[in-house]
Structure 1
Amino acid sequence: MWKFSIRRILIMIPQIILLSILIFMMAKMMPGDALSGLIDPNIDPATIEERREALGLNDPWHIQYADWVGGAITGDLGQSFRFKMDVTDIVGQRIVNTFWLSLATLIFTYLIAIPLGITSGRYNDSWLDQSITGYTYLGFATPLFIFALVMLWIFGFHFGWFPTSGSVSPGLEPGTVDYVISKIYHLILPALSLALITTVNTVQYLRSEIIDTKQKDFIITARSKGASESRVYNSHILRNSLLPIAAFFGFEITGLIGGTIFVEQIFGYPGMGQLFLESIMIRDYTVVTAVVLLFGIASILGALLSDIILSLVDPRIRIK
């Protein structure tokens, strides 16, 4: 187990290096550079050239890449021309909101998916199973941004049950009970909107696992020995069907990254996704490269977590 984990971590290192190179090269190919938004383009060209030289923008790409990576390792991701502050500070403010949104979405996802998947798999081909399967088909066919807009209009604007923007009500002091309640209240609708769409994969997978497990030889043997139906399901079918779901926990985290980008923008939730889209629109490349790098590392770590959990669930499995 330890050898497998160390091997996967060692494989992750060149993946992160390759990811950083691709992000840096794509940023270099975009129009403009880190200086574009910091100064007035109408000033003396000689002054602009002096600033470019001072910032190292005329250096060869590999030297600029080494400086960028060195800064990222030490926590210096550059400065945002929009916010006029360090990117590290901006990301530090936003990443907390995205973390809580992702955590709430995961909780909602499993609270919804596991009961529906178990019910659909146990009573397959019944009207209940057909209803749940219909919900998953509808979820597969519905774009997330359309569903989020509908949820926002119905429960935010029409009924007014939830806030329509922000992560906390203004004027509340951090650390107070009212502040925590307001944070949770602002989380519910965007997290639930994202969970209701992302949960369909888990429901379908769990349903298929249960149906497949019911036909295994050891299940037939358990029934032939006179085991009760509840014991067969609880001790054999569910236990074997739920283990693979745990193994895909890391991939759920990876899938949330794309979802939070749209949801945060639609609900005006100040997280990493909203910061990413806003920075693209105003060409704040320093912020864009930092956010893409963090999202990419999070995806790699999610895949690593899934591989480790999978090896714990079934020691026979070793991903090379």
Structure 2
Amino acid sequence: MWKIIVRRILIMIPQIFLLSILVFLMAKAMPGDALSGMLDPNIDPAAIDAMREKLGLNDPWYIQYWDWITKAIQGDFGQSFRFKMPVSELIGQRLMNTLWLAIVTLILTYLIAIPLGITSGRYNDSWLDRLITGYTYIGFAAPLFIFALLMVWVFGFHLHWFPTSGSVSPGEVPGTLSHFWSKFYHLLLPAISMALIATVGTVQYLRNEIIDTKQKDFILTARAKGASESRVYNRHILRNSLLPIAAFFGYEITGLIGGTVFVESIFSYPGMGMLFLSSITIRDFSVVTALVLLYGIAAIVGALLSDIILSIVDPRIRIK
């Protein structure tokens, strides 16, 4: 078990290093640089050049990269010219909103997907299975941002069941029960919107696993020995079918964090996703590079979590 964790962590180190180089080079390819939005364009060009020289922006890319990555390791991602504050502090203000949104979405995804997948797989080719499968086909075909716009229009603007912007009602005192409820109430509609789309892949995968497991020899043997149908499903079919779902846990987290980029903008939810899109629009160089790097690291860590979880639930794949 520990060999797997150590080996995967050692593989992660060069992955993160290569990712940081790629992120930096892509950011350098953007028009302008980290100084572009911080200075009045009416300033003497000679003064601007002198400032770029002082900040090292005229140095070769590898020198700039080394200066950037060494500061990033210490938590210093530079200064945001739009918000006039350190990028690490700015991200810290938005991070918890995105994490809570991703956690609630993940919980809703599994609460919806597992019962639907089990029902569809156990009663395959029934009218109930066709109904669930039809829902998954619609979910696969519906883009997340279109579905989110529909949800905010119906349940936010038309029915007025949920707020359509912000993360908390004005005037709420942090630490109180009403403040906690307001935070939860504001993220509920974005979480439901993402969960209803994210759940379709898990439903289909679980359904197919159950149908495939039902045909295995050990299931036929259990039935031939007179085991009850509930025992066959609970002790054999369901247990084996849920193993791959557990392994996808880390990837689900990564996918949800990435999905918040569009959902947060649609619902005007102040998280990292909304900050990311707005920073791209105004070319806030320091914020964009920091967020892309963090999203990439989250994807790598998600893959590590999936490998660890799979090795725990299925000892057959452990590397000695």
> Please, what TM-score do these two structures have when normalized by structure 1?
0.98
1:264 and 2:238 equivalent? no
Match of 2:14 in 1: 14
Q: What letter corresponds to residue 242 of structure 1 in structure 2?
A: L
| Maintained 8 Å contact 2:258/2:295 | no
Q: Provide the secondary structure at the position in 2 that maps to 1:316.
A: helix
Paired amino acid for 2:285: Y
* Residue of structure 1 equivalent to 2:25: 25
> Which AA in structure 2 matches 1:167?
S
Name the structure 1 match of 2:202: 202
8 Å CA contact 1:172, 1:178 repeated in 2: yes
Structure 1 position 41, deviation (Å):
1.7
Once the two structures are superposed, the pairs formed by residues 149-164 of structure 1 within 5 Å of their partners are 149-164=149-164
Matches within 5 A, 1:209-220: 209-220=209-220
TM-score, normalization by structure 2: 0.98
In the alignment, the residues of structure 2 paired with residue 163 and residue 197 of structure 1 have an alpha-carbon distance, to the nearest angstrom, of 20
Is the contact between residue 307 and residue 319 of structure 1 (CA under 8 Å) also seen in structure 2? no
Separation (CA, whole Å) in 2 of partners of 1:60 and 1:259: 35
d(CA) in 2 for partners of 1:65 and 1:316? 43
Unpaired runs of 5+ residues, structure 2, are none
Aligned-partner Cα distance in 1 for 2:258–2:2? 31
Paired letter, 1:14: P
The one-letter code of the counterpart of 1:307 is D
Q: How does 1:66-145 map to 2 (within 5 A)?
A: 66-145=66-145
- 2: CA distance, partners of 1:303 / 1:226: 41
What whole-Å deviation, never above 9, does each CA across 1:185-235 have from its counterpart, x for those lacking one? 011100000000010000000000100111111111111111111111111
Structure 1 stretch 256-265 or stretch 7-16: which is displaced more?
A: 256-265
How far the C-alpha of 1:319 sits from its partner, in A, is 7.9
Q: Which runs of 5+ in 1 are unaligned?
A: none
Contact kept? 1:136, 1:204, Cα under 8 Å: yes
Q: Tell me the CA shift for residue 318 of structure 1.
A: 4.8
Name the residue aligned to 1:222: 222
The answer on 1:240 being equivalent to 2:231 is no
Runs of 4+ in structure 1 deviating by more than 2 angstroms, as ranges, are none
Q: Residue type matched to 1:246 in 2?
A: A
The amino acid across from 1:268 in the alignment is S
CA drift of 1:28 comes to: 0.8
Distance in 2, Cα, partners of 1:233 & 1:194: 30
CA drift of 1:316 comes to 2.0
Which residue pairs with 1:52 in the alignment? 52
Deviation at 1:308, TM superposition (A): 1.1
**For the structure 1 residues 319 and 38, does the alpha-carbon distance in structure 2 shift closer, same or farther, using more than 3 Å as the test?**
farther
- 1:124-158 CA-to-partner distances (Å, cap 9, x unmatched) read 00000000000000000000001000000010010
* 2:168 is the alignment partner of 1:168: yes
Percent identity among equivalent residues? 77
SS in 2 for 1:37: coil
Contact 1:244/1:313, CA 8 A, preserved across alignment: no
Output one character per residue of 1:279-312: Cα deviation in whole Å (capped at 9) or x when no partner: 0011111100000000000000001111111111
The residue aligned with 2:184 is 184
User: Equivalents in 1 of 2:4, 2:159: separation in Å?
Assistant: 52
What amino acid is the match of 1:140? Answer: F
Aligned length: 320
The one-letter code sitting in structure 2 at the alignment partner of 1:64 is Q
Say what the alpha-carbon RMSD is for the aligned residues. Answer: 1.1
Q: Is the 8 A contact 2:136 2:200 kept in 1?
A: yes
2:98 touches 2:257 (CA, 8 Å); kept in 1? no
CA distance, structure 2, for counterparts of residue 180 and residue 110 of structure 1? 23
Q: Residues 66-120 of structure 1, C-alpha deviation per residue, up to 9 Å, x if partnerless?
A: 1101111111100000000000111000011000000000000000000000000
Query: Per-residue deviation at 1:242?
Result: 1.0
Deviation (angstroms), 1:257: 2.7
> How many Å apart are 1:258 and its aligned residue?
2.6
Distance (whole Å) between structure 2 residues aligned to residue 277 and residue 17 of structure 1:
24
Which string of whole-angstrom CA distances, capped at 9 and with x for unpartnered residues, describes residues 13-58 of structure 1?
0000000000000111111000000001221111111111111111
The CA deviation at 1:260 is: 0.6
